Amino acid sequence: MKILVTGGLGFIGSHTVVELQNAGYEVVIIDDLSNASEDVLDGIEAITGKRPEFEKLDLRDRNAVSAFFKKYADVSGAIHFAASKAVGESVHKPLLYYENNLSSLVYLLKELTGKASANFIFSSSCTVYGQAEELPITESAPVKPAESPYGNTKQIGEEIIRDTAKVYENFKAIALRYFNPIGAHESVEIGELPLGVPQNLVPFITQTAAGLREELSVFGNDYPTEDGTCVRDYIHVVDLAKAHVKALTRLVESENKSNYEVFNLGTGTGSSVLEVINTFEEVSGVQLPYKIVDRREGDVVAAYADTEHANNELGWKSELTLADALDSAWKWEKKVRGIK
């Protein structure tokens, strides 16, 4: 069974391709290489022994998307990661985000709904909940007005898919709302490769420990949490990747209970910024230089998942710990920077 993975050379995409291949799926990747390198194919092949097919393609090019589906008529499903995902950048470049994240989704769906049947997995985000009233966050928590065009593209994307699934009965979809993906594959063949100054906490930590950054700025320690810093649900990217295989297989085997389903993917445990720093220091043995600075606009105080629905329906539960994820992230950073 051949599965299209868009954005398959990216951080979460590449780890998902590995788990798909491990589960016996054939994979073809589309990536525009705007935020990933073709060398990632070597890393995937080094792990699984199988090199995925690859097409460099901009999903905003409707004709190119249509030509792809003619060439790969045997594709029976898609996992859609390809999107611009920098929250801050999206505020300054809204049209880039609406075009790249939404036009490409519509062109993909037009092709998939033209097939006899198609299974679709959408990369969504816990950002749709904003600051949830109740913790842990369940899938029935209200979707809040987005704080950024990036977050809005995830909300609108879910609505586009939901409305499409209502009309095309042979089109089945699942939206996966990720909490905070971190870490790297244990082989150290693939991992996170943020371009420029990392916006996310863990790559900034590992780059600081590797000496690329002077010190980590902790965005506020005056929040109403145990130690005053924000709380997030940090999930190992390999656990997250395995959840995608479970979700796809649920559709392939028609175990879905409706044509559009939503699952939160997290560990169910919240960790504060200071807890992440302390855990990193324990696993790496590196003293991390950091300073407390002002809060970052748009940050929610706390967000962590209620994992009941995914555990019961997907038969999936995260297995790796925060320490495992930070250890793997550090090993990857050292490899990329040539540090022993």
Q: Residue 114: what residue type? A: G
- How does DSSP classify residue 145? P
Spell out the residues 6+ positions from residue 5 whose beta carbon is closer than 8 angstroms to its own.
13, 16, 17, 20, 27, 28, 29, 30, 52, 78, 79, 81
**Stretch touching ligand WQD by CB under 6 A, among 51-59, 200-208, 242-250, 281-289:** 200-208
Beta bridge partners of 77: 3, 119
Q: Using the rule CB under 6 A, which residue among 204, 280, 330, 332 binds ligand WQD?
A: 204
**What SS3 class is residue 191?**
coil
Catalytic residue among 97, 150, 223, 260: 150
The token duo for 8 is: 């398959």
Q: How far is the CB of 90 from ligand WQD (least distance, A)?
A: 10
Asked if 315 and 243 touch (Cβ cutoff 8 Å), the reply is no
Q: How far is the CB of 91 from ligand WQD (least distance, A)?
A: 12
Residue 107 annotated to the active site: no
Q: How far is the CB of 260 from ligand WQD (least distance, A)?
A: 20
- Nearest residue to 205 (alpha-carbon basis) of 222, 175, 180: 180
The 10 Å CB-count burial string (b at 16+, else e) for 309-327 is: bbeebbebebebbbebbbb
Query: Under the criterion CB under 6 A, does residue 299 sit at the interface with ligand WQD?
Result: yes
Q: How far is the CB of 239 from ligand WQD (least distance, A)?
A: 15
Q: Using the rule CB under 6 A, which residue among 15, 232, 244, 250 binds ligand WQD?
A: 232
What binding mask, one character per residue, do residues 120-159 give for ligand WQD by CB under 6 A, x or -? -----x-x--------------------------------
Q: Using the rule CB under 6 A, which residue among 199, 221, 278, 311 binds ligand WQD?
A: 199
Spell out the residues 6+ positions from residue 215 whose beta carbon is closer than 8 angstroms to its own.
208, 289, 290, 291
Query: Under the criterion CB under 6 A, does residue 22 sit at the interface with ligand WQD?
Result: no
Q: Using the rule CB under 6 A, which residue among 60, 93, 296, 334 binds ligand WQD?
A: 296
Choose between 69 and 204: whose C-beta lies nearer to ligand WQD.
204
Query: Under the criterion CB under 6 A, does residue 218 sit at the interface with ligand WQD?
Result: yes
The token duo for 208 is: 């600081």
Q: Using the rule CB under 6 A, which residue among 61, 219, 228, 278 binds ligand WQD?
A: 219
Q: In terms of DSSP bridges, do strands 53-56 and 75-80 run parallel, antiparallel, or are they unpaired?
A: unpaired
Residues with catalytic function: 150
Give residues in contact with ligand WQD (CB under 6 A).
85, 87, 125, 127, 180, 199-201, 204, 216-219, 230, 232, 273, 296, 299
